[in-house]
Amino acid sequence: MRLASKILCLLIGLTAFLAGNAEAKYAAYVVDAKTGKVFHAVNENTRNYPASLTKLMTLYLLFEAVEKKRLNFSTRLAVSRKAANRPASRLGLKPGQSIRVKDAVMALIVKSANDVASVVAESVGGNEKRFALRMTDKARKLGMSRTTFRNASGLPHRGQMSTAKDMATLTRAIINRFPQYYHLFSRQAFTFEGRTYRTHNKVLKTFPGAEGMKTGYIRASGFNLITTAKRSGKRVIGVVFGGNTSRSRNRHMKTLLTRAFSKTTAPMQMAKIAKPARSKESSTTNKNRIWGIQVGAFYTHRPALNIATDISNKYASVLNGGKVKVMPLRKSRNRVLYRARILGLNRRNAYRTCRLLKKHRKPCLALNLPSNVEVASR
């Protein structure tokens, strides 16, 4: 009976593990590359399989080896039988062949070649297991506290885990530590031994201002993507985990980046609103006033409408009603500040929503306004 019970428990545990990995975990994280300011965060600390996003750490350690002059871009790396037998995506290297560091870098960025990842791991770390330990150690030093690497490629391994936030941290580290190599991530094609390979990263081709970085996919992870983009001198990093398809993932990434840039190009300024003076009349329930929230103020109408609509949809269950309203306020020099508001709430829901937004580092101000304020449509 005891043996049967143990077997049953083992089967239940295995079933739970497989079920838990049968569906990828969605996460998204968007930050300012320079300041680290967070524009969007959903499940950013949830651990998931990074898939080929792993190769960014492989490249980090390769760049580090070049910087320390242990290698140079012309150094040839030997291809072992084990590396050559790595499954696709791969370059098709043969045992005994060699590849220059420069070509290895481009194969990892553009082709996401698993055989090349193993070649780099064996050349820099002695073997892939030791290299993976170095990857994890470097992750800890960079502040990636929830990341563990087991291989250099991102091929399936139950212990190879990371988060959207940790991957954004790694991306920032690459940009800051290796600015001389950062431009390589914008390459959409490279040629090796007479054959041209093209990038999987469609966002790099279709999103204005996109600079890099990396796609990733295994069945357990879903479709992952890291994108860096720059507009008007501002660089933003976007990370998406667990997309259902590459197309929907790309579309979602472009939406997140567009929203982030709307906040950087038109800095959010919370309008100062004086607190109503306390009086006997205001201490009682005042039917001549309404409650609402203000979630930002912009110098153009569109971002104000977008952010208010986004919050209205995302926090609908907490708001329990309310109407999106963009209210203009004329400033000096004929400039207009468009205030993003959700009006027609009750006091409790207004304060509750603000607490949730501030918890996620988003601005929010509870408002108590005269009831003659127009609460009509968007």
Check which CATH number belongs to the domain holding 140 and give it.
Answer: 3.40.710.10
Q: What percent of the chain has pLDDT over 70?
A: 85
Same domain, 257 and 287: no
CA distance 191 to 372: 67
Structure tokens belonging to residue 111:
């082709």
Q: Which of 52, 221, 246, 312 is catalytic?
A: 52
Same domain, 290 and 327: yes
- Residue-level pLDDT at 286: 53
Q: What percent of the chain has pLDDT over 90?
A: 65
Q: Which of 25, 55, 138, 165 is catalytic?
A: 55
Same domain, 91 and 180: yes
Q: What angle do CA 115, 119, 124 make, to 5 degrees?
A: 150
Q: Which of 230, 265, 300 is the last residue of a domain?
A: 265
- Residue-level pLDDT at 265: 57
Q: Which of 210, 237, 265 is the last residue of a domain?
A: 265
Instruction: Kindly compute the dihedral angle of the four CA atoms of residues 83, 87, 105, 181, in this order, to the nearest 10 degrees.
Output: -130
Question: In the annotation, is 279 catalytic?
Answer: no
**HSE toward the beta carbon, residue 298, CA cutoff 13 A:** 23
Q: Rounded mean pLDDT of the chain? A: 86
Going by their DSSP bridges, the two strands 98-100 and 189-192 should be labelled as: unpaired
Sign of the CA dihedral 16, 18, 24, 25?
Answer: positive
Confidence of residue 318 (pLDDT cuts 50, 70, 90): confident
Does residue 72 lie within any of the structural domains? yes
CA distance 95 to 97: 5
Confidence of residue 3 (pLDDT cuts 50, 70, 90): very low
Cβ neighbours, 10 Å, residue 209: 15
- pLDDT above 60 for 101: yes
Longest CA–CA separation in the chain, Å = 88
Same domain, 83 and 211: yes
The mean pLDDT of 356-368, rounded to a whole number, is: 86
Contact 70, 85 (CB under 8 A): no
Contact 144, 8 (CB under 8 A): no
- Residue-level pLDDT at 270: 41
Does residue 86 lie within any of the structural domains? yes
Lowest mean pLDDT among 43-47, 212-216, 324-328, 334-338: 334-338
Instruction: Read off φ and ψ for residue 111, nearest 5 degrees.
Output: -90, -20
Q: Which residue has the tokens 């060699």?
A: 98
Confidence of residue 268 (pLDDT cuts 50, 70, 90): very low
Q: How many domains does the chain have?
A: 2
Q: What is the pLDDT of residues 114-142, one digit of tens each?
A: 999 999 999 999 999 999 999 999 999 99
Same domain, 259 and 292: no
Question: In the annotation, is 221 catalytic?
Answer: no
Contact 168, 27 (CB under 8 A): no
Same domain, 235 and 333: no
Q: Which of 25, 80, 89, 112 is catalytic?
A: 112
User: Cis link prior to 282 (omega < 30° from 0)?
Assistant: no
Kind and range of the H or E run holding 355: helix 347-359
- pLDDT above 50 for 378: no
- Residue-level pLDDT at 11: 40
> Domain span at residue 216?
25-265
Structure tokens belonging to residue 130:
């030791």
Same domain, 221 and 307: no
- Residue-level pLDDT at 314: 81
Same domain, 237 and 292: no
Q: Give the pTM.
A: 0.67
Cβ neighbours, 10 Å, residue 155: 18
Same domain, 105 and 141: yes
Q: What is the pLDDT of residues 4-32, one digit of tens each?
A: 444 444 343 333 333 333 346 899 999 99
- pLDDT above 60 for 272: no
Q: What is the pLDDT of residues 175-194, one digit of tens each?
A: 999 999 999 999 999 999 99
Lowest mean pLDDT among 42-51, 144-153, 276-285: 276-285
Does residue 377 lie within any of the structural domains? no
Q: Which of 265, 295, 326 is the last residue of a domain?
A: 265
Question: In the annotation, is 102 catalytic?
Answer: no
Burial (CB count <10 Å: 0-12, 13-18, 19+), residue 186: middle
139-147: long-range contacts, CB 8 A cutoff, minimum separation 24: 139/57, 139/166, 139/170, 142/169, 142/170, 142/173, 143/169, 144/169, 144/170, 146/45, 146/47, 147/50
Structure tokens belonging to residue 186:
């914008």
- Residue-level pLDDT at 24: 64
Q: Which alpha helices (H) appear in 97-163, and where do they start and end? A: 101-106, 114-125, 128-142
